[in-house]
Amino acid sequence: MRQFVLGGSVQKSIQSATARLMKFALLGALLAVCSQIGLAQTAHFGSFEKTIVSSGLKTPNGVAVDANNLYIADTWHNRALKGTPTGTGYTETVIGNGLQGPGGISVDGNGNLFIGDTYNKRVVKLTPSGATYTQSVMALSGLNLPFGIAVDGAGNAYTADFGVNDVLKLDMSDAPTMNFTSTKLGATSSDSPRIITVTNIGNAPLTFPVPTAGSNPNASSSFTLNASASACPVLYPGAATAASLATNGSCLLSISFTPVASGTLAGTLTVKDNSLNAAAPNYVTQRLPLSGTATN
């Protein structure tokens, strides 16, 4: 059984090594100029207004922001902080348990936090649960000193492992290829049907829109989506309403391989949904690679 995880995010982060956190607002103009043949230089003109937004920190090494909040890796206080805007300042809350020298922090579009828990040699994920967070350790062995951390638009996390000079990807959202056993042309493979688990890892219901053609989800030629055997909703044009999957909910899709051409065949299971808060008509298309070989 494969897991096809849906959900994802974006993040912004900068790093500092001071005992306080400052906010800079640009005053005046920004001008870019180029000089010298073959060499581009950029000059910035203007001034910045700085505001201390958090003090009493001890070597903070990571900071991230989402649409509303500020998150800080307060490294040598062995904690992470969430700053919630209140008027002209922030109300700080300690988040995360048992951290040791956290060196980086990042936030995705679903509000999930990822912390490089450096001296515990792990990456911690904090999932929003009401006004608090549920903490879990991401499964990745062999970390030495995970420091900086970032999240891409699909929800995969990346960490800079300071101890071994590596950058590692924690593959959370990119689906693995589902491979089927070789079979005769026109015959259904002996390992069919195979089951895909679809899980909503976001903090809001996942919506599946009604398609204008085909089906949602949809499988490419030689691969069959067994709609009647699937517990996940399968929608066709003309359906009365969209379908949804609750937060932390899962459902199953049944896929079979019956090749219509010989050779090694690659296909795709596609699912359209509102991951990353996508709105109609610009829904997100998520893909699960499929593969099988047909013999004569």
Tokens of 271: 């699912």
Contacts of 85 (CB under 8 A, 6+ apart): 68, 69, 70
**N-terminal to C-terminal alpha carbon distance within the chain:** 28
Query: What mean pLDDT value characterizes the chain?
Result: 82
| Whole-number Cα distances in Å, 202 to 7, 43, 48, 108, 128 | 6, 42, 37, 10, 9
15 — pLDDT class (breaks 50, 70, 90): very low
**Which CATH number applies to 8-17+58-170: 3.40.50.300, 3.40.50.2020, 2.120.10.30, 2.60.40.10?**
2.120.10.30
**What per-residue confidence (pLDDT) applies to 129?**
84
Beta bridge partners of 285: 272
Topology adopted by domain 178-295: Immunoglobulin-like (2.60.40)
What average pLDDT does range 92-101 have in this prediction? 92
Percentage of the chain exceeding pLDDT 70: 81
Q: Which one is predicted more confidently, 14 or 93? A: 93
Average pLDDT score over residue span 235-242: 95
Angle 68-202-250 from CA coordinates, rounded to 5°? 170
Of 106-120, 235-249, 269-283, the one with minimum mean pLDDT is: 269-283
Q: How confident is the model at residue 21 (pLDDT cuts 50, 70, 90)?
A: low
Q: List Cβ neighbours of 275 (8 Å cut-off, separation of 6 or more).
A: 6, 7, 8, 202, 206, 284, 286
pLDDT of residue 140: 66
Q: Does this model's pTM top 0.85?
A: no
267: which 2 tokens? 């296909």
Task: Flag whether pLDDT at 2 surpasses 80.
Answer: no
pLDDT in tens, 138-152: 866 788 999 999 998
DSSP-derived 3-state class of residue 172:
coil
Domain ranges (residues) in the chain: 8-17+58-170, 178-295
One-letter amino acid at 135 equals Q
What whole-number distance in Å separates Cα of residue 58 and Cα of residue 3?
40
